[in-house]
Structure 1
Amino acid sequence: MSPDAPRILLVDSYDSFTHNLAALCRRSIPNCQIRIIKNDELSIEELRPCLKDFEAIIVGPGPGSPDNASDIGVVRDLWHLDDDHLLPIFGVCLGLQSLGIEFGTTLGRLSTVKHGLVSQIHHPGTDIFEGVGEVNAVRYHSLHITVPPTGDIQQLAWAEDAENGRVVMAVKHTSKPFWAVQYHPESVCTQGGGWEVLRNFWTLGSQWSQTRRHTRSTIADTPSIGIPWPHTASPHSFSRPTLASTNKVLSTKVNLPQLSVTKISEYFGAADEASNCVLLDSAANPGRYSIIGSLPGDAMQVTHYVGDAFLTIIRGKDKTIESLDALDIWQWLSNYMRTRQVEHHNSSVPFWGGFVGFFSYEIGYPALHIPLQRKEKKHPDANLTFVERSVVVDNQTGDVHIQSLIPGDDTWIAQVAEDLTNLSQSRAPNARRSSVLSLSPLSSVVLPEKQRYISRIKQAKEHLYSGDSYELCLTAQTRISIPYNQSRGTPGTSTSWERYQQLRKSNPAPYSAYIRLHPSTLMSSSPERFLSFSRPPNPMCQLRPIKGTVRKGPGITRAVAEQLLAGSPKEVAENLMIVDLIRHDLHGVLGENVKTAKFCGVEEYETVWQLVSVIEGRQEKGTSKHDDFDLGWNVLKSSLPPGSMTGAPKKRSVEILQNLEDGERGVYSGVFGYWCVSGGGDWSVTIRSCFKLDQQNSQKASGVSRPEHEEWVIGAGGAITALSDPEAEWDEMILKLQSVLKSFGITPPMSA
């Protein structure tokens, strides 16, 4: 970046669209250098002397209200800078409201909230709208300002709402270099009034600076405050192992189209409850490959709990506590993977070996700087096993790839190939029961209480009306308690494995999984891929959020599904909010090179139609190839918890949901998947899932008496927006529960 490049200070009010706005700045103000600070990072006394390093300030959007000091921070003081420190300022959403109330406008609530909705913006084509044609812009606000006929604030644009009447959409200060818009110019669905308006602001601001003979300080080559965006260097400040270049993958391929994934899994011990087991199962289209780990008793397992300064390495009965020192769990895993990296093998096989497992919903709290309100440790927040021996099944061709990372492991590969070939030719019936495992009279099922859930929906909507959030993904848990003496099927077998087979049969899904990594067992029929990233060099990161589902049934054709989903303002708004949030997450790591490859497309799955968007990004040019290996890993870390399971803005939404829900989500709403030794990875959202804690083994090991029941937990919920109907949201939550409850032989009544 040239030292003469324009320098812009972007003030972030803890929003989930900030990096989108930074990308828009780069498009509007070519070659500009952007530094980002939080609105409560510095006091005005600390900030004021640093402003000499900048030509302009962008005040971004954010949750809350401009009259709340904790929501607005130092922004309030920026509007009252003295002449010696005054700079052109452009505000967005909360920024406009703050500018308005500091100079005589009144703040009020909209009669009808506008979150993720597109409005036509009317303007006279002057000032920051000069040369700007028709504007159809996305709005994310429940508050608005009313501008008096005379005063310091002048209206520049407005929307005509059928419900709210005329609503101010853009203003300027009559004597100071301040401009602002209420709508979101950085949204993917804003057409017109985006980069053009920001470009005009820069032109007008530059003209003002020239008339005032305001020039930036040339003393410092780089500003003394803020985080640079985009990041052009590795985010790691610690020493890392050199990427390994001598590791190899041994493999062979056999074509066994008659051999099922479940039979291969049982060959590797899926039915043995005492052993660990990992199956990432493409049980339905559009999934293609299934991955089965061969886990010997001493296979390495890594567990970690948020807040701990250590992790646990488990090899069979041996446990080792390892301090993280200055690292976090992500950096530790990255360091380990660099020692196992493989550069070349069969590029058509997605997984060669590596880490497989899950991350909890709460694993994302540290990155959001949210304290964890944990009363007791249950499921690890990170629970992964390193898979050295694996089988990858191509469900389209029937090819079975048998692989090992262990040098000289040809004998094992040959033996497995022979055994699986014989297994595919065997006509012996499957010994596993195929009927639904019914619950005993001593079992219990505790569903969410309807009125309590609806009450929380109403509380969530009040947060939306007050401006604290645009969308809240409210969830609740169902608990199934089964006596231990009734929880086993055939002696020595795992009922959880049998239940998983029933789940994949009743609700086949492209991102299914059976992961048994003690003390946790997870079975999932997830339809939603969260993040996939290709192998270096120049890996592609792709996220595929789902918001909007219609179950297949008589008369539900594609045309009908498209009308119900893509034709619904509510469904599109839910999806749009998460798309904009994900774009922000990707921009934060990758820089400018992010695009929305598909917006609100209707995709067909085995049992449902889904409203799916696709967001893609690659590394910003200027970053060394050395960082490609863990690029996707850094995106994963920076994107959790999944935005489709939190709402937006993410940080404030997660904080609200902590108080609306009864406890930790744990495994539910996190992600599961793999990170391959090649640098590629694939992670899915943990929904349509259930999980249990193996309290029996853990308590036996600690000397505590064995509990009498095992408990399964199922999470379900939905995105609450201002357009949500509480009864309909309850019905949607119960509908999502049904697909998993069927594996327990339970059909919950809709009026439960």
Structure 2
Amino acid sequence: MNKNLQSILNKYGSLKEPFFFTISYDLSQFYIKPLEELPSDIKFEINEKISSKLSHKESLVKTPISFDKYKKSFETLQNHIKEGNSYILNLTAKTRIETKFSLDEIYEKANAKYKLKFFDKFVCFSPEKFVEIKKNKIATYPMKGTIDSSIENASAKILGNIKEMAEHTMVVDLLRNDLGIVANKIKVEKFRYIDKINAGDKKLLQVSSKISGQLDENWHAKIGDILTALLPAGSITGTPKKKTVEILKENENYDRGFYTGIFGVYDGNSLNSCVMIRFIEKDEEGNLYYKSGGGITCDSNVEDEYKELIDKVYLPF
């Protein structure tokens, strides 16, 4: 646990000072700044009512991890599942991409609920809310399960898929337990509802649930305690969380950094945040890498999971 991160968040919350925050996957890096002091080269937008309509298609040149390399990691995770070390693990990788657009242009054109351009380092256009706090009520929205909407009866197929049901249920159970650490009266308000997501040259259906709980009146002064207790997000790690994070660190062969971390805003009254998926990062040489992944269970098929990892590499224009 990062005590410095915790104390800074608690301080701004206790003062009811509106602020922006972003926190890396492993909580080792963070950036917190009062909204009135936010630099112009950090841009963000939260727009939860967006159209799923695609205006035009933009292609990307993708150079993903090789299937053999991915398969090796996949098989290692399957062995861990068989040994009872984990039940679901969110395996991710980075894909080299080429596009005619700059990070600024991608940010401006992206159609997403949550958008962030962080200096000239990365851009994120996430569909996945992390936690929202309003009037002492906290809610989280785990997203787990993806299908191409062009597949016949796509909605019925993903909702009726036993593997997808098991995967989603495990994540919902994990998030219920996580919320129980910081809140009372935990309940699943919506279980497995579908969102339509722009995915470049196609639309994806993604399955989410809503879980909520009640916080104490003085939650503002405990924002740091709340967020650090819930991080990293269960939907992009797995269960049991601590052991799963260790296994993923050994097998992903790259540093996630801010990818699958969170960003959000506290306005003095409420808090809204997202999980940073759909993420493009620029390295020191100017190369662009798109980081993506998906949940692995005992029923997962390696070819399908590899395809999903690549399908999630897109520009949401």
TM-score by length of 2: 0.85
Are the structure 2 counterparts of residues 631 and 542 from structure 1 closer, same or farther at C-alpha, using a change threshold of 3 Å? Answer: farther
The yes-or-no answer on 1:527 pairing with 2:119 is no
Deviations 1:681-734 (A, max 9, x none): 1111111111225x4xxxxxxxxxxxxx31323211111100001111111111
Deviation at 1:588, TM superposition (A): 1.0
Match of 2:210 in 1: 614
Report whether the alignment pairs 1:361 with 2:17.
no
Q: Is the 8 A contact 2:122 2:280 kept in 1?
A: yes
In structure 2, the partner of 1:692 is 282
Cα drift, residue 392 of structure 1: 8.4
Q: Could you tell me whether the CA contact under 8 Å between 1:533 and 1:632 is conserved in 2?
A: no
Aligned to 1:450: 67
Mark the CA change 1:545 to 1:653 in structure 2 (over 3 Å): closer, same or farther.
Answer: same
Q: Does 1:601 align with 2:170?
A: no
For residues 373-411 of structure 1, the C-alpha deviation after alignment (integer angstroms, 9 at most, x for no partner) is xxxxxxx71023321289989897xxxxxxxxxxxxxxx
Distance verdict in 2 for CA 1:582–1:392, change over 3 Å: closer
8 Å CA contact 2:95, 2:289 repeated in 1: yes
Change (3 A) 1:646 1:393: closer
CA distance in 1, matches of 2:82, 2:126: 32
2:311 maps to amino acid: L
Which structure is richer in relative contact order (CA contacts within 8 A, separation 6 or more)?
A: 2
Whether 2:118 is the aligned partner of 1:516: answer yes
Give identity over the alignment, percent: 28
Task: Tell me how far 1:602 sits from its aligned partner.
Answer: 2.6
Displacement of 1:585 after TM fit? 0.6
- Counterpart of 1:723, as a letter, is D
1:582 corresponds to: 175
Could you tell me which residue of structure 1 aligns to residue 53 of structure 2? Answer: none
Query: Which AA in structure 2 matches 1:461?
Result: Q
* Counterpart code for 1:564: K
How far, CA to CA, are the matches of 1:389 and 1:657 in structure 2?
36
CA shift at 1:515, angstroms?
Answer: 2.3
Instruction: Provide the TM-score with structure 1 as the length reference.
Output: 0.37
Deviation at 1:446, TM superposition (A): 4.4
Matches for 1:358-437 after TM superposition, within 5 Å: 358-363=22-27, 381-388=29-36
Rounded to whole Å, the distance in 1 between the matches of 2:45 and 2:90 is: 35
Distance in 1 separating the partners of 2:259 and 2:47: 28
Instruction: Give CA-to-partner distance per residue, 1:437-475, whole Å, 9 cap, x none.
Output: 999xxxxx6421110101111110110001000111111
Preserved contact between residue 357 and residue 515 of structure 1 (Cα < 8 Å):
no
In the TM superposition, what is the alpha-carbon distance from 1:530 to its structure 2 partner?
Answer: 1.1
Between the aligned partners of 2:171 and 2:154, the Cα distance in structure 1 is: 21
Which structure is higher in strand share? 2
Length, aligned pairs only: 302
| Corresponding position: 1:500 with 2:102 | no
Amino acid paired to 1:569: I
Question: Counterparts in 2 of 1:76-95, with a 5 A limit?
Answer: none
Over the aligned positions, Cα root-mean-square deviation in angstroms equals 3.0
Name 1:15's counterpart in structure 2. none
Structure of greater Rg: 1
Residue aligning to 2:143: 546
Cα deviation for residue 603 of structure 1 reads: 3.3
Contact 2:171–2:234 (CA under 8 A) maintained in structure 1:
yes
Q: Indicate if the aligned counterparts of 1:470 and 1:648 stay in contact, CA closer than 8 A.
A: yes
Q: Which residue of 2 aligns with 1:373?
A: none
Distance 1:449 1:597, change over 3 A: same
Deviations 1:619-664 (A, max 9, x none): 2xxx5x3x23245543222111111111100000001111111132
Provide the rounded CA distance (Å) in 1 between the counterparts of 2:46 and 2:248. 39
Query: What is the letter of the counterpart of residue 596 of structure 1?
Result: V
Counterpart code for 1:652: K
What letter matches 1:547 in structure 2? K
Is 2:104–2:117's contact at 8 Å kept on the other side of the alignment?
Answer: no
Aligned partner (choices 293, 304, 313) of residue 717 of structure 1: 293
CA distance in 2, matches of 1:604, 1:733: 18
- Native 8 Å contact 1:603 1:612 kept in 2: yes
